[in-house]
Amino acid sequence: MSDTSLTYRTREGDRWDLLAYQHYGDASLFEPIIRENLDQLPTPGVFIPAGLLLRIPILEVDPVRGPETLPWR
Tell me what pLDDT residue 71 has: 45
Tell me what pLDDT residue 40 has: 83
Tell me what pLDDT residue 48 has: 87
With beta carbons less than 8 A apart as the criterion, state whether 8 and 51 touch. Answer: no
Binned average pLDDT, 10 residues per bin, the chain of 73 residues: 83 93 93 91 76 92 55 40
Q: Where are the beta strands (DSSP E) in 1-73?
A: 5-9, 53-57, 61-62, 66-67
Tell me what pLDDT residue 3 has: 73
How far is 43 from 40, CA to CA, in rounded Å?
A: 9
Question: Model-level pTM?
Answer: 0.74
With beta carbons less than 8 A apart as the criterion, state whether 10 and 20 touch. Answer: no
How far is 43 from 34, CA to CA, in rounded Å?
A: 11
